[in-house]
Structure 1
Amino acid sequence: MIEPQDAEFSRRKTDQPQLIDAFNASNASLIILATLASIFFIDWAQAVLLPLIVAVFISYALDPLLSPFDKLNIPRPLSAAVVVALLLTLIVSASIPLQREAVAMLDKIPIAISKLQKTAARAPVKEASIIEKAQEAAKKIEDSTSEKKVRTPGVTSVRIVEKPFNVQAYIMDGASAALVMISQAFSVLLLVYFLLAVGKLYRRKVIRISGPSFERMRKAAHIMEDFHHQVRRFLFVMLLSSVFVGGVTWLAFWLLGVEQAGLWGVMAGVASGIPYLGPLLIFIGTAIAAFLQFGTLDMAFMVAGTSLAITSIQGNLLTPWLTSHLSSLNTVAVFVGLLFWGWIWGPVGLIIATPLLMVIKSLCDHVTNLRPLGELLGK
């Protein structure tokens, strides 16, 4: 005979899995809703978040350059102004010859298109495919039916007139987009200066907030120091890798006689920050440009192979050697991150996708509840 207390215990034990399942389902629903809301907010606040994140990353990458000034006890605002001024001078001085090379490359595009058209015209005529024959038959049927149409008396024919191209509206739209881009670039530059000037101010504030116990403050200081070291080292390595790829690509292309070698070097350096996709685009672009310039497949393969060799050295030797003591990301996480941030923020999102993943990985490694996510991102 079962006692009443045993029956009550059995009933509670039977109901416990149902309560756990309901609790897990509600948690999963809240996580999904929070994720969707976060994605919507990131997309909606792009005009504010994107310049802020880019400025934070640039300041982290440039922060090691201020170490010699700190050893000389030079005030941080003054050393930050010197570094930002040097960066701005470098960008402006490099943009003048690069602009000329970009204009020269754009001028060659119509010539390249006409060259390809002439090559295609000299090629033997191929037999039309089934789809092309079906399209031609449908066009003939449509033309024959339109010719047999009889005008109905008393009915006015309607003719659709296309709206002419408005040059003034096009110029105004382009000017507004350029104005927004210039204002965002100026905002990024100011934010970079302010972040470099304040130095460790916000890290000290976070440590104070984590109090009041000394143990919590010490743990927060350790987390902030490791986080700062990981992110700063990773971004500085990315900057060095981009400079290496850009400089070596320019030198190699100049020796091979490739036109606009400086512009290709800059594009290769920027594209090296986009894993997988960036080197692939440079490989294809340099192959096409070399074929159009030299007219032979040998030179096209040589130029594209040179670009691939440089990016391979950077990706397989230089970057792993410089980041040997840092947390690493697995290839699946990097590829999914490229898809997500490229979808949200376009080309700039592709460039900052890997640093963002590195920041998230470093943060997850120090927060107990987020360590499963850090394990998914890591190798």
Structure 2
Amino acid sequence: MKAEPAALAAGVAESTDSRVEAHNDTHLMRSLLVGIFILMAIYALYFAKAFFMPVILAFLLALTLTPIVRFLRKHGMPDVISATLLVVLSVSVLAVAGYLLSGPVIDLINNTSSIGQQLTERLAQLRRPFERIVEISRQIEGLTEPSQEPGVQRVAIAQSMAQSGLLSQAASNLLSAGTSVLIVFVLSLFLLASGTMFYEKIVQSFPSLSEKKRALRVVYDVEREISHYLLTVAVINTCLGVVIGLGLWALGVPNPQVWGAAAALLNFLPYIGAAITITLVAIMALISFDSISYALLAPAFVILCDTVEGQFVTPTVVGRRLEINAVAILIAIAFWSWLWGFVGALLAVPLLVVIKVFCDHFDGLSHVGNFLAAQHTVIEDEEISDTEKAAGA
């Protein structure tokens, strides 16, 4: 009789061990499936970027313009009309900006060699310790300079063929870029004009009324926060570009509209974009002004504008809850720039904000949103919880 409880306990222990082992196996299998899915998604995004890039750009553009469409809907304007007007206005602004900036940008590209030579001359006094190295490199260049032999004609022909190949590649890239831009604006038009169709489809996908309400609440919250963030950041960056352009125009920097547009566009790349803008403005100021002290006013003005925008304007208008920590931003920029080049780098932070907002609305993904959040946000949340505990005590 005493052996029965022992056998029963052994059976219970064996059953528990088997359940734990089965649970571990299930968890491992689930982790492997998630890892395989992520690798396949990265593979698809990399090799099918011609499809995914304009689609994602269209969705982000539609989210950016959604608050305006919603505002006009409340005032009696149909979604189709407001969406058409907004897309046509966006295309017009892009076309006008491209036309106005094309001339100065082409001139800068054509004068790249002369700009580099002028910059080298301006910085000659700062590279005195390296004069010996420069002299050695010049001697090596003189030794390796090709002589005028019959082979020179063959090299010239090869360069001509290479240039023709580059022209054909540039034409192909231009055609592909034009197709992608057309897809972006047409798809964003249909997304904006569809109104609440997607919300109705989401509601119809759930059986119970409570699940329908919860899904609709989550979708509305995510859409509202992301659209507010994208539209606000776009307006802030535009204002920043206008201020920098006007300031550089007042200082006498050549082509201030180009640097204002570059500042607005590159400001979608936190930290890196501002550094690139400051460097470009500093180079142009150094080769444009005789006084180095006066030339430094231009990059100093850009630094001041970027500091005010990054430390005061954006946190106040957007809110600190949607701020992302610097490590996650740099990793995202590196990843998306490797995946999709410069366009991917511009999309890195908006996509990161989309992921964070989505994760914040689901308990199972809250740890991912917490990891992406800025450090001060976590500290503020802990202080709030400690205050609530003290108040409850």
Q: TM-score by structure 1 length?
A: 0.84
Q: Provide the residue aligned with 1:330 in structure 2.
A: 325
What secondary structure does 1:258 align onto? coil
Q: TM-score by structure 2 length?
A: 0.81
What does 1:37-48 align with in structure 2 at a 5 Å threshold? 37-48=40-51
Give CA deviations for 1:238-278 in whole Å, capped at 9, x if unaligned: 11111111110111001111100001000000011111110
Asked whether 1:176 is paired with 2:141, we answer no
* 8 Å contact from structure 1 (residues 286, 300) kept in 2: no
What does 1:186-197 align with in structure 2 at a 5 Å threshold? 186-197=182-193
Q: Provide the residue aligned with 2:243 in structure 1.
A: 248
Q: Provide the residue aligned with 2:151 in structure 1.
A: none
Count, aligned residues: 353
CA distance in 1, matches of 2:21, 2:212: 41
* 8 Å contact from structure 2 (residues 119, 286) kept in 1: no
Structure 1 position 200, deviation (Å)? 2.1
Asked whether 1:164 is paired with 2:158, we answer yes
Output the amino acid matched with 1:257.
Answer: G
Q: Provide the residue aligned with 1:203 in structure 2.
A: 199
Correspondent of 1:75 among 73, 78, 103: 78
Structure 1 position 212, deviation (Å)? 2.2
CA distance in 1, matches of 2:8, 2:227: 62
* 8 Å contact from structure 2 (residues 65, 231) kept in 1: yes
**Unmatched segments (≥5 aa) in structure 2:** 145-153, 375-393
CA distance in 2, matches of 1:318, 1:359: 21
Asked whether 1:313 is paired with 2:308, we answer yes
What does 1:43-192 align with in structure 2 at a 5 Å threshold? 43-116=46-119, 118=121, 126-127=131-132, 164-165=158-159, 166=161, 167-192=163-188
Output the amino acid matched with 2:41.
Answer: S
Output the amino acid matched with 2:180.
Answer: Q
* Deviates most, 221-230 or 198-207: 198-207
* 8 Å contact from structure 2 (residues 226, 353) kept in 1: yes
1:111–1:187 distance in 2 versus 1, CA, 3 Å = same
Structure 1 position 340, deviation (Å)? 1.4
* 8 Å contact from structure 1 (residues 55, 189) kept in 2: yes
Q: Provide the residue aligned with 1:32 in structure 2.
A: 35
1:117–1:34 distance in 2 versus 1, CA, 3 Å = same
* Deviates most, 228-237 or 188-197: 188-197
Cα RMSD of the aligned pairs, angstroms, is 2.8
CA distance in 2, matches of 1:107, 1:7: 83
Output the amino acid matched with 2:79.
Answer: R
Give CA deviations for 1:320-341 in whole Å, capped at 9, x if unaligned: 1112275332222222211211
What secondary structure does 1:164 align onto? helix
1:114–1:7 distance in 2 versus 1, CA, 3 Å = closer
CA distance in 2, matches of 1:228, 1:120: 50
* 8 Å contact from structure 1 (residues 283, 304) kept in 2: yes
Structure 1 position 107, deviation (Å)? 3.9
1:21–1:292 distance in 2 versus 1, CA, 3 Å = same
Asked whether 1:229 is paired with 2:224, we answer yes
* Deviates most, 268-277 or 337-346: 337-346
* Deviates most, 103-112 or 10-19: 10-19
Give CA deviations for 1:203-250 in whole Å, capped at 9, x if unaligned: 2211221x2211111111111111111111010111111111111011
Output the amino acid matched with 1:89.
Answer: S
1:114–1:354 distance in 2 versus 1, CA, 3 Å = closer
Percent of paired sites with the same residue: 23
Asked whether 1:364 is paired with 2:367, we answer no
CA distance in 2, matches of 1:54, 1:365: 23
* Deviates most, 68-77 or 275-284: 68-77
Output the amino acid matched with 1:376.
Answer: F
CA distance in 2, matches of 1:369, 1:289: 51
Q: Provide the residue aligned with 1:257 in structure 2.
A: 252
1:88–1:22 distance in 2 versus 1, CA, 3 Å = closer
* 8 Å contact from structure 1 (residues 290, 303) kept in 2: yes
What secondary structure does 2:287 align onto? helix
Q: Provide the residue aligned with 1:148 in structure 2.
A: none
What secondary structure does 2:346 align onto? helix
CA distance in 2, matches of 1:274, 1:324: 18
* 8 Å contact from structure 2 (residues 69, 83) kept in 1: yes
CA distance in 2, matches of 1:107, 1:361: 42
CA distance in 2, matches of 1:52, 1:331: 27
Output the amino acid matched with 1:164.
Answer: A
Q: Provide the residue aligned with 1:152 in structure 2.
A: none
What secondary structure does 1:231 align onto? helix
1:312–1:224 distance in 2 versus 1, CA, 3 Å = same
CA distance in 1, matches of 2:113, 2:202: 57
CA distance in 2, matches of 1:117, 1:235: 40
Output the amino acid matched with 2:223.
Answer: H
* Deviates most, 249-258 or 338-347: 338-347
Q: Greater share of helix residues, 1 or 2?
A: 2
**Unmatched segments (≥5 aa) in structure 1:** 141-160
Give CA deviations for 1:159-179 in whole Å, capped at 9, x if unaligned: xx7671314333222111111
What secondary structure does 2:315 align onto? helix
CA distance in 2, matches of 1:296, 1:101: 24
